[in-house]
Structure 1
Amino acid sequence: MLYLLAFATVVALLYYVFRDRTAVQPLSTALVSIREYVPAIPPGAPAHHWTDGGRYASEVDNDAMYQPAIAKLAGEHGPGNADEKCLALLVCDDANPFQDKAIAVFIDGQLVGYLAHGDALRLHRNLAHRDLAGHLSSCDAVIRGGGLWNGKRLSYAVWLDLAPFN
């Protein structure tokens, strides 16, 4: 009987302490907002076109959520890997709520991912050295991957002809 009274007292005390607390948002709500965030492409022509002589050595960080857009851009390529050359727009995304000094990568108006954080910081620095801070720039890109393996389509990757930055 004494245990039952103690248990009831603890439950009543916990209710009293936590009754006016703000409800916590479920994690799925936070994930939806990440998926819905897309920066705007500024109007006008790119202020600078970067090149690394066709090496395509800088890979774009892309999550699974960008794969459908990249697959559409890669076009039909049968069971082999895609090798689709295109123009990438590099958008300074200073309003990004998830990463400071982010650089979004767009191809044909579709967000396909972001530069790795270190590459984005170096590109911001190089844009500032050229008095182009915050301006739209571009580079050549290639979409690779997406071949068939065991009946399933592999992931795509976007590679940029962007010089490794000092």
Structure 2
Amino acid sequence: MIDALLIALMAASLAAMYLLLKSGFRAPAAPPAPAPAKAYEPAAPGAPARHWSDEGRLQTEVLAESRFHATVRELAGEHGDQGADTRLPAVLAVDAANPYEDKPVAVFVAGRMVGYLGPRDAQYFREQQTRQEIAGQPVSCDAAIRGGGLWNGKRLAYAVWLDIEPAR
């Protein structure tokens, strides 16, 4: 009797293993991914208080952030295999509400956010605003989007350059 019971138990175990192998093992369902946090972006500035120019030298570079690469590439327009040199208007504004940096200067080209001035350039920008008695107000300047040419079969990066005096 015990032999028959052991044989029945073994047969049931083998049947269960066969069914598991045939239907396959299923991994437990992955927990739902948290919704990606929306990246902080300042509001577009109002009308500029002044237009600044460094006589077309375009020596101040905007810091590149990966989240703005698609926008900069779009603003560069069609330029084939040669590098772009697209000229557009820019507006710079102190971003006092930025939760990540202390008084950064946001850069908008053709009304679209493309990045920030570097810390030294941002400080110099704010000092110049104070000297001209327009502290905290938006300022316009000319901008150039350069780059994007083909080299060894790959498209080079784009950069945004501003026609304002760089920090020394």
Q: TM-score range by the shorter chain?
A: 0.7 to 0.9
2:51 corresponds to? 49
Q: Tell me the C-alpha RMSD between the 2 structures.
A: 1.7
1:68 corresponds to? 70
Cα deviations across residues 109-137 of structure 1 (Å, max 9, x unaligned)? 21111000111011111111211111010
Identity of aligned residues (%): 48
| TM-superposed deviation, 1:148 | 1.4
Cα deviations across residues 92-118 of structure 1 (Å, max 9, x unaligned)? 101111111100000122111100011
CA distance in 2, matches of 1:143, 1:90: 16
2:24 corresponds to? none
5+ long unaligned stretches in structure 2: 1-32
SS at match of 1:111: strand
Write out the 4+ residue segments of structure 1 that deviate beyond 3 Å after TM superposition.
none
| TM-superposed deviation, 1:151 | 2.5
1:84 corresponds to? 86
1:38 corresponds to? 41
SS at match of 1:60: strand
CA distance in 2, matches of 1:49, 1:117: 21
Please tell me whether the aligned partners of residues 90 and 111 of structure 2 are also in contact (alpha carbons under 8 angstroms).
Answer: no
1:157 corresponds to? 159
SS at match of 1:114: strand
After TM superposition, the score normalised by the length of structure 2 is: 0.75
CA distance in 2, matches of 1:127, 1:94: 14
| TM-superposed deviation, 1:66 | 1.0
1:58 corresponds to? 60
Q: Which has the larger radius of gyration?
A: 2
1:124 corresponds to? 126
Code of the residue aligned with 1:59 in structure 2: it is: E
After TM superposition, the score normalised by the length of structure 1 is: 0.76
Structural mapping, 1:96-135, within 5 Å: 96-135=98-137
| TM-superposed deviation, 1:150 | 2.8
